[in-house]
Every structure is written in structure tokens, then in C-alpha cells.
Amino acid sequence: MNKLSVIAGKSSEDLAKKLSKKIKANLVKSEIRIFADGESKITLNGKISKNRAIVVQSIYPPVDTNLIQALLLISKAKETSSEVIAVIPYMGYARQDREFLPGEIVTMKVLGKLFKGAGASKIIAVDIHSMIGFKHFTIKTKNVSAITELVQYIKKLSLKNPLVVSPDQGGKERAKEFAKELGSEYIALEKTRDRKTGKVQIKTNNIDVANRDLILVDDIISTGGSIVKATQFLKKQKCKKIYVACTHALLINDAEKRIKKAGVTKIVSANTIPGKTSIVDISNIIAKAI
């Protein structure tokens, strides 16, 4: 029997398939049945290695369903394999890593206990929203970045005098790293977000981006509110084309449509979450991490 098995969760089938080829592991597929009451029933097709099993399951919407399925897959893998590595390309709940307002539950602390209890010996995530979340885990954790792969794709677009832009100060380091690999400059806009309403406002004064192609860089695009606001602001500064590069394109509801309407030429994202924009494969960086 192969010493490595990759168990493909339904939320990450394509990525798991690519990963299994990279690391020469046998692929174990999962069949999911969702009952009328919302319960998940999983059946695995294939033999799991006794040495090491790698479960690949992204926790994007429906977040709770995909989380439960990840835990079920880990638990089943642990019955056979002595080591279970959980590859969670998109770590749902990563934004709930601390108590922002009194009484809030730190969900990442609970997730740390759940993954350990299910039988995971190590967690690998891609561009987790905040490393603080992993501080709540008592098992091994590793975060890998999709920036290099995203930059390689952007380089193919032959942009005119490109400038990397972070939509907020929180993403400044990401923009700096992206710009360094691209060989360009970067800036970070200043925004405010109302913690209760979620409303976003750009506070930055006028900046010189005239006649330059811009790359808005972020880790997660959910509703697209921050990207839309940033795009509208940058368009007023007479820039040329605006591209968006992100790791996780959740693009909830009509987010993609609204982003394009605001003036974005193209959205480029990694395949941590499958979708139309997920054109950058990150199986190679996960293979290296394993």
C-alpha cells in the first residue's frame, strides 16, 4: 500500500487531486449525502494509508457544513492512519481569533480543540487571515502563502508601470511582499470600518496613481465592500486598469458583479476556494509544506 493517502473532501476535490499527483499519493474520494435536515453522511472510496493520511477540505460557505465534514474526514482517517495532516486551504472562522467586543466567543480557540479531538496531528492553511488564530491550537500548525504563485500570474499580464495597493493598513505587509516579488512599488490605503454596521470608508487623501496599472491585493474577498470602495476611490485618481489579486475569493452573493461594475478589469484568486476566478493553483506550495 502507498505510504501516503490524500483524502479529498467535497469542498476541495480538484485541489486534492492535483496535490495527490504532486506528492505521488493514492487519492481517496468522498461521497457526500446531505439529508433533508441538513446532516452530512460521508462514505470514503479507497484505501487509507496506515502511515500518513492527508485530508484536504476548505472551510468556505456553507462554513459549518464544511467544517463538520472536515472533522468527520479527519476522524475516519485517524482510525487507520498513524498520522493525519489536515490541509485546510481556506480556514473559516479565522477572523474570530480574539474578543473584539465584550461577550464575543473566540471561535478559533474552539476549532483548535475540535481538530485535535478529531485526530489531526498537524494543520496546514493557506494565507490564514491572522496568525493569532493558530496560537489557540495545541497541535502543530503551518501557514503557507500563495503570494509567489499569484505574482507569477500577474507578471504574465504585462502591466503598465504597475503599483501594488492594499485596500487597508492591515494588509500593508502583504502588499509590501507582493510588490517585492513583482519588482514594483506599493501603497496602503487607510480605511475605517464600523464594527457594528460593517460600513467601510476610505480616509486616504489624494494620491498619485495617474496612468498606472494597479493591483489591489488582499487575502480574502467576501462581500467585496472594501475592494469596491478602494476601486471607486482609485478610479477618481485617474489610474489606468485595476486588477484584483487575492488568495481566497469567497465572493458572496453578487460581489464579483459589483467589483467588476466598480471598474476592476480582472479578479485573480487561488484555488483554495473553487470558482471562476480561481485560476492560480497552489498545490505545489502545499506539497512542499507536507
For the annotated catalytic residues, the residue numbers are 191
Q: How far does CA 189 lie from the centroid of its chain? A: 22
**H helices of 63-128, where?**
63-80, 107-118
| Burial annotation 243-272 (CB, 10 A radius, 16+ → b, else e) | bbbbbbbbbeeebbebbbebebeebbbbbb
Cα distance from N-terminal residue to C-terminal residue, the chain: 19
Alpha-carbon distance of 215 to 231, in angstroms, equals: 10
Alpha-carbon distance of 65 to 38, in angstroms, equals: 8
Q: In what order do the strands lie in the sheet with 185-188?
A: 185-188, 163-166, 214-221, 242-249, 264-270, 278-280
**H helices of 81-146, where?**
107-118
Q: For residue 259, give the H/E element and its range.
A: helix 255-262
Alpha-carbon distance of 139 to 141, in angstroms, equals: 6
CB 243 within 8 A of CB 259: no
Of 27, 94, 32, 34, nearest to 283 by C-alpha is 27
